[in-house]
Amino acid sequence: MTQFLQSTLAAWSLKDPQEVAQTPRGVVYRVTRPDGSPAALKLANQEIDTGEANAPDWLRWHDGQGAVRLLAEAPGALLLEWFEGPPLSKLCHEGRDAEASAILADCARRLWANQNEFTGQAQPLAAYVNGLLSAAPAAFAKDIRRDIEAAQALCRALLDTSPTPRILHGDLHHDNIALSARGWLAFDPKVVRGDPHFEFANCLRNPIGTPLLRDPERPVRMAEIIATRCGLDAERLLAWGFVQCALSLTWASLPSGVSEEGHRLLRLFRPFAQRQ
């Protein structure tokens, strides 16, 4: 047991930590609160920027409406309500992709229905995508350099023509939404202020690893469902999907050595850039 975990357990009088998830960004434990109820303890990897510094502001703002409830916070640590799931990605693996897309849209609508003023910190969308805008295409594999250049140009055009900005989750996809006794809830927000179409950019290329991502018509079907339920432009959703594919490649430490899957997704979304 790490010292950080020990000190956090003691500070909040928690016990019985059971690791349930680990990523490069941190570790999640199922813990028991003093009243005997379960909770999720999320400890951030303090050696990297997890991109989730603004999450507590966003979670407090929503106060459980469409999002997981924040129970306590400290630097590098969040105590969240516990729910078993399953994640929304399970529906995709069960052949219920259209249903999952509708749930994604409805989850965003519930979050956007928050009429309270957001007084926390949110990263402007232009800053969030700056890794793509400032990238040198020559740093990428030769076969995708033109796609990177196209994504940069499209990203600038989308930013220049943005509709009224919203406070966004910023990373709303199938594995950041799970089922609870209160319905489907979002978690792990990045917190971005910008074009509402960007809210769905990452979900169009998720869940990672599913055969659905080899179907070039699948993003179109998703975009149509989301656009209808949220009053958005399906073509603009797809355009942001292409930008997101390129942006994700810039997050790799060595862009020229990223996975073939990332390159393949960029190529799959390429036609959508030409439809704008």
Positions marked catalytic: 171
Pairing relationship of beta strands 123-124 and 192-194 according to DSSP bridges: parallel
Of the candidates 40, 35, 44, which has an alpha carbon nearest to the alpha carbon of residue 18?
Answer: 40
What CA–CA distances, in Å, run from 34 to 2, 12, 115?
21, 8, 34
Residue type for position 165: P
Spatial neighbors of 160 by CB under 8 A, at least 6 apart, are: none
Q: Give Cα 150 distance to the centre of its chain.
A: 23
CA–CA separation, 227 and 16 (whole Å): 44
CA–CA separation, 42 and 29 (whole Å): 6
What CA–CA distances, in Å, run from 236 to 96, 150, 162, 229, 233?
24, 15, 10, 15, 5
Q: Residues 24, 12: contact at Cβ < 8 Å?
A: no
What CA–CA distances, in Å, run from 272 to 33, 154, 234, 241?
48, 10, 10, 8
